[in-house]
Amino acid sequence: MSKTVREDIRNVAIIAHVDHGKTTLVDKLLRQSGIFRENQAVQERVMDSGDLERERGITILSKNTAVNYKGTKINIVDTPGHADFGGEVERVLKMVDGVILLVDAFEGAMPQTRFVLQKALDLDLKVVVCINKIDRPNARPDEVVDEVLELLMDLGASDEQLDAPFLYASAREGFAIMELGDEEKDMTPLFEAILKFIPAPEGDPEAGLQMLISTIDYNEYVGRIGVGKIDNGRLALNQEVLLMNHHDPDKRSKVKISKMYVFDGLKRVEVREATVGEIVAISGISDISIGDTLCDPDDPQPIPFQKISEPTISMNFLVNDSPLAGQEGTYVTSRHLRDRLFRELQTDVSLRVEETDSPDCFKVSGRGELHLSVLIESMRREGYEFAVSKAEVIYREDERGRKLEPVEIAYVDVPEEYSGAVIQSLSERKGELQGMSIGDDGICRLEFSIPSRGLIGYRGHFLTMTKGTGVLNTIYDDYALYKGDINYRQQGSLIAFEAGESVTYGLFSAQQRGALFIGPGERVYAGMVIGESAKPEDIELNICKTKHLTNTRSSSADEALTLTPPKRLSLEEALEFIDRDELLEVTPKSLRIRKRELDARLRKRAAMSGK
């Protein structure tokens, strides 16, 4: 087999912990490579194309782009930083020959830095380290370089990988430098480092075709689009190839390439032929999946694909059956819900959807609360109306029949005065303190090993406790022995007693019982949760009652009653708040928490029987 090295191509992924500046860096590389016209209006973080990505400031799906520098085409993959989207990172690394590891000059190596770097080292990829945000106040680039070198040694990097080049940059300001103190001009040093240190792809263009599908995109007009790198051989329009899967020997079908694209900036450009080392997108194959290989029919050799991390958390998605069902959503039936959930599986490899005994209920499993909340938010924006249950962790059993549960490592950065309260609250949730250090700036870093279920519903409580100053990062560690029961919620719920419209008079007396989630003039129904009780037990209230009019009292006296503004819960806060006997009703316009059993008598009967 005669291997050819494609010196005119580099394939590189940008990996980092969340919020360390990956997408901003890609932005600047695109701008400085001349992709955009001088007068072209381009939004910030142009790679985060989804509405949800732009609003939350996070990358959810990995994105492909390409720039040209000195006659070399650099294919760049922007990857997510959140642990919940780790499945995305794992698979796109199969397409590249090297990675740019981005590390914040202030925060240093964080949990996800370790996770993504481990994946890159396992695949024997070349690493270029870029210390970003060196213009930040309190930046400590020299210390961060030592942290990264320590991390590389911890992860068992080879001598060659330990010899990784280090650059310093400010993605926001658009410059990179080789040594601290160099002139801060532009991104040229980073472009040069990619050409010099990232290996060019190689393969045999005359051998049988091998192309592993690493990402699936979906388009309403052309259906599924497979993206991958050609390892060997050539691919041409109308070529007949064999679609196979190394891990599924039964999958073997002859298909034809009807359309093929390469990446140029943010565009996909149609091409007639591509060869070794090029990252291409193909459409026209309806059952193409991640992990499939396109092979030569005369010499079929599918490529092995790494195992995607298993889901650790699940929740039920149900057809909405509340008294207000079907009034705000476009898609409300079980068929709509089923089709949409199974469609999500086409592009999200870390998700699992299972049918249950009930045709109106589907069990959806994912990598974490954020993973599932992004799916819920996407669906409600598309016009779906449904209900979801509380997130539950997925348990396993070991060979001795003992119950195992997923455990995470939590890294907490808080001002020293809050450290005692945080340690106590995480210990109550079965967390074990593994390490503690205090920096010169008075920030206390805590490291906990904690069951995943101990973190469900914790973030909102944590932010309140630290007055918004704490930072909590978690990463999945492993399965461990069940650590015992956890008392999730100290407070009960305030529940509407009857259907109707909330009025000021009813709410005024209700607000003395706890924090309300709704204001006057909102439609409610019996069994709907309207607030958080100040006591541990649930309380039923009539918030639709009006003051009886008599000769001595007039309805205008209502205007003198002052209501505390209601606490409006975001989707994440609502998912954190709901208890096991509650559901969250999700519609394009509203989020309503309700009891699973709306009838108060049936609820009491269930509680008495211990269900």
Domains of the chain: 4-201 (3.40.50.300), 204-295 (2.40.30.10), 396-481 (3.30.70.240), 493-608 (2.40.50.250)
pLDDT of residue 255: 81
Question: Please, which pLDDT band fits residue 306 given cuts at 50, 70 and 90?
Answer: low
SS (H, E, C) 336-366: HHHHHHHHHCCCCCCCEEEECCCCCEEEEEE
Sole residue written with tokens 């990996």:
15
Asked whether residue 222 carries a pLDDT value surpassing 80, the answer given is no
Round to the nearest angstrom and report the end-to-end CA distance of the chain: 66
Convert the pLDDT of each residue in 81-118 to its tens digit. Answer: 444 445 556 677 888 888 888 888 888 777 677 777 88
Cα–Cα distance list, 64 to 228, 258, 560 (Å): 10, 21, 59
pLDDT above 60 for 496: yes
Helix, strand, or coil here: 53? helix
State the amino acid at position 594 in one-letter form: R
pLDDT band at 529 (very low <50, low <70, confident <90, very high): very high
pLDDT at 346: 73
CA nearest 304: which of 367, 214, 235?
Answer: 214
Higher pLDDT, 158 or 50: 158
What is the average per-residue pLDDT within 437-447?
Answer: 79
232: nearest Cα among 470, 488, 4, 505: 4
What pLDDT digit, counting tens, does each position of 358-369 carry? 899 999 998 777
pLDDT at position 48 is 37
Q: Tell me what the mean pLDDT of segment 308-336 comes to.
A: 88
User: Above 60 in pLDDT, residue 421?
Assistant: yes
What's the mean pLDDT in 454-479? 79
Mean of per-residue pLDDT scores for the chain: 80
Q: Is the pLDDT of residue 61 over 50?
A: no
Burial bucket for residue 519 (CB in 10 Å: 0-12, 13-18, 19+): middle
Lowest mean pLDDT segment, chosen from 155-169, 208-222, 307-321: 208-222
Tell me which residue has tokens 């007396």: 509
**Helix 141-154 to helix 111-122 angle, to the nearest 10 degrees?**
50
Tell me 199's DSSP state. P
- Confidence tier at 56 by pLDDT (50, 70, 90): very low
Eight-state DSSP code of residue 299:
B
Residues 6+ apart with CB under 8 A from 305: 91, 94, 212, 245, 246, 247, 290, 291
Q: Looking at residue 320, what is its pLDDT?
A: 92
What's the pLDDT score for residue 38?
39
User: How far is the C-alpha of 576 from the C-alpha of 589, rounded, in Å?
Assistant: 20
pLDDT at position 19 over 70: no
Beta strand ranges found along 233-312 (DSSP E): 234-236, 240-245, 252-256, 259-264, 267-270, 273-275, 279-283, 292-295
Higher pLDDT, 459 or 361: 361
Q: How much is the average pLDDT of 500-523?
A: 88
- Decide: 588 and 320 in contact? Cβ < 8 Å: no
Q: Is the pLDDT of residue 591 over 80?
A: yes
In the predicted model, is pLDDT for residue 488 greater than 80?
no
Would you say 194 and 93 are in contact if contact means Cβ atoms under 8 Å apart? no
Average pLDDT over residues 519-546: 87
Phi, psi (deg, nearest 5) at residue 457: 80, 10
In this prediction, residues 32-56 reach a mean pLDDT of 42
Are 518 and 574 in contact by the 8 Å Cβ rule? The answer is no
Give the residue-averaged pLDDT of 228-236: 84
**Average pLDDT, integer, range 543-564:** 64
User: For residue 82, what pLDDT is reported?
Assistant: 47
Over its C-alpha atoms, the chain yields an Rg (Å, rounded) of: 27
Helix (H/G/I), strand (E/B), else coil: 271: coil
The pLDDT of residue 134 is above 90? no
Say whether pLDDT at 561 is over 50. yes
Q: Which two tokens stand for residue 450?
A: 């904690």
Q: Where are the beta strands (DSSP E) in 455-538?
A: 471-481, 493-496, 500-501, 514-516, 523-524, 528-533
Is residue 39 over pLDDT 50? no
